Amino acid sequence: MIEQQLQQTISQVLNELYGISVDAASVVLQSTKKEFEGDYTLVVFPYVKQARKSPEALAGEIGAAVQQHLSLVTSYNVVKGFLNIAVCDSYWTSFVADNATNATYGIRSAADDAAPIVVEYSSPNTNKPLHLGHIRNNLLGWAVSELLAANGNKVKKVNLVNDRGIHICKSMLAWQRYGGGETPESSGMKGDHLVGKYYVEFDKHYKDEVKQLVSEGMDEETAKKEAPLMLEAQQMLKRWEEGDKEVRDLWAMMNKWVYAGFDQTYSSLGVGFDKIYYERNTYLLGKELVQKGLDRGVLFRKEDGSVWCDLTADGLDQKLLLRKDGTSVYMTQDLGTALLRHKEFDADRLIYVVGNEQDYHFQVLKLVLGKLGFDWANKVYHLSYGMVELPNGKMKSREGTVVDADDLIAEMEQTAEAMSREHGKNDDLSPEQQKHLYHILALGALKYFILKVDPSKNMLFNPAESIDFNGNTGPFIQYTHARIRSIVRKGIEDQGISLQQASPSVALTAKEREVIKSLHDMPAVIAQAGAAYSPAMVANYAYELAKNFNSFYQDTPILREENSAIKTFRVQLCNMVSIALKNTMHILGIEVPERM
């Protein structure tokens, strides 16, 4: 790539002219700003003192020497301490010709002996359906996995289903009390929605009980602990851990309903997993680790029988690992799951895609694993992401005010259909093709709007804004791809253009050059995004590329170009842009249509 050649040449020039020894990889080049002439810019200020030159003189001398050493450099100019370097058109046209039909452009393959990276995401509780917050988690987990794979890593996508615990018992108890034998079949509800209904039902009756106890003179904190429903739910959890058949049968039936519902939602979202773990199978391994920690004196037991880890020397506090009744907490099963994954995969990294409200939890997980003697604890990485909010505020599962994932996807599909009809983008498609188009536009809008935001930031999701065919949206990029594919098809089918035909060097327009340079940047952007675990960098790159292409398309004749060599080159360029958009959007889990 030209950047490496420039870095090597500049390093050589600095040494030859000034005796400055600089490793080529440390030479920083930037894309030249649009208001200046050139392709790459070198800031010379770091070398001024050693060279004993003014910034302008130093930049001029480096520019002249680089041009002399490297034939691909056609000119240079100096703006104060900034050296702007122009690369010849033939380099850019050859780059397009070499990659015009490269279907995997920008994507690296994994080495056969590479240790896998394990990415955990989704991790739902089986007491409610997936909601908007889960959507961000699933989309981010999938996209990060695909991004790591695009950078040549082996990736294992895993899910840990939290299928036991007090929250599950709340739904179970409410269904026992108030369900009247209702099932997904009898109610017509998806199983996860039905179970979620009783989670909300529990909370309503629980609040009534707390209110009643407070009215009888009990303080609110005590009332929350002593409310009959809460005590009964806790007892149900204890019976579950003891293997009580009645409780286990009820639990198995209701969880089966939820699993079926989750599978439908995952399918609609277009996400999946290489392996699914269940907390019921990992919490006991965690309890074994806790016992070993007790035996080694790493952990301690309080007078009430609960087990803790003292992290005060690490700047934290004491962390509960087993309750006084012997039941486990989230940390218990996470310890067991981490050990299980290490044994199964011997992973390079264990990445947990979990919201930032769990930052403390994962600090503790790494520390406790380390104290238990596992030297791979430093491979644990928490990919912490911000919360999703709506224009009308936060969501609360217990109060039934969440935005359900299934409802949101259906709403997005309806909006996509309305917008498509309004813009006349489906007139020549069959009903089946139209239905598929609405689905991929809806998911493209949803996924792109969420993934274009840096994972660490909170975000406000606006469904209407996300589906717009203009601006920084998924449908804008999808439509751009469809437009390009139409140009390429017409070029091949109607004008006999060959994408494999060698194109002679042609003089580039400024808009062409901008598009090609965007394409040239793609591998570096994917590498940077992978290092930062940031699909947002890929999303915004795809938007800039689509925007640059549309600017080029508006100003530049393609199929109407009279010069056949230039026409062939431009169709090849179009094809390469469509590949780049398809590959970057694939990383985000977004399908791009061939026609709209």
- Residue listed under structure tokens 């286990």: 248
pLDDT tens across the length of the chain (596 residues): 899 999 999 999 999 999 999 999 999 999 999 889 999 999 999 999 999 999 999 999 999 999 999 999 999 999 999 999 999 999 999 999 999 999 999 999 988 888 999 999 999 999 989 988 899 999 999 999 999 999 999 999 999 999 988 999 999 999 999 999 999 999 999 999 999 999 999 999 999 999 999 999 999 999 999 999 999 999 999 999 899 999 999 999 999 999 999 999 999 999 999 999 998 888 889 999 999 999 999 999 999 999 999 999 999 999 999 999 888 888 998 999 999 999 999 999 999 999 999 999 999 999 999 999 999 999 999 999 998 877 664 434 444 456 788 988 988 898 888 888 877 766 677 888 888 999 999 999 999 999 999 999 999 888 778 887 888 999 999 999 999 999 999 999 999 999 988 766 789 999 999 999 999 999 999 999 999 999 999 999 999 999 999 999 999 999 999 999 999 999 999 999 999 999 999 999 999 999 88
HEC sequence for 490-510: HHHHCCCCCCCCCCCCCCCCH
The whole-number pLDDT of residue 394 equals: 46
> In angstroms, rounded to a whole number, what is the distance separating the alpha carbons of residues 302 and 171?
31
**How far is the C-alpha of 144 from the C-alpha of 535, rounded, in Å?**
6
- pLDDT at res. 396: 44
- Separation CA 273–CA 157 (nearest Å): 5
Residue 185 burial class via C-beta count within 10 angstroms: exposed 0-12, middle 13-18, buried 19 and up: exposed
DSSP states of 333-398: HHHHHHHHHHHHH--SEEEEEEEGGGHHHHHHHHHHHHHTT-GGGGGEEEEEEPPEEBTTB---TT
Are 575 and 105 a contacting pair, CB within 8 Å?
no
For each of the domains in the chain, give its residue range(s) and CATH number, in order of start: 2-87 (3.30.1360.70), 121-389 (3.40.50.620), 405-587 (1.10.730.10)
Write the DSSP symbol of residue 33: P
What does the DSSP assignment read for 554-575?
A: HHS-STT-S-HHHHHHHHHHHH
State the pLDDT at residue 586: 98
C-alpha span between 55 and 127 (Å, rounded): 65
In sequence order, which ranges of 77-164 are alpha helices (DSSP H)? 89-99, 132-150
DSSP tag of 327: -
Q: What is the pTM of this model?
A: 0.90
* pLDDT for res 503: 65
SS3 assignment, position 470? coil
Beta bridge mates, 276: 159
pLDDT at position 399 is 45
For residue 123, the number of C-alpha atoms closer than 13 Å in the C-beta half-sphere is 18
- DSSP 8-state class, residue 312: G
Residue 199 phi, psi dihedral angles, 5° rounding: -65, -40
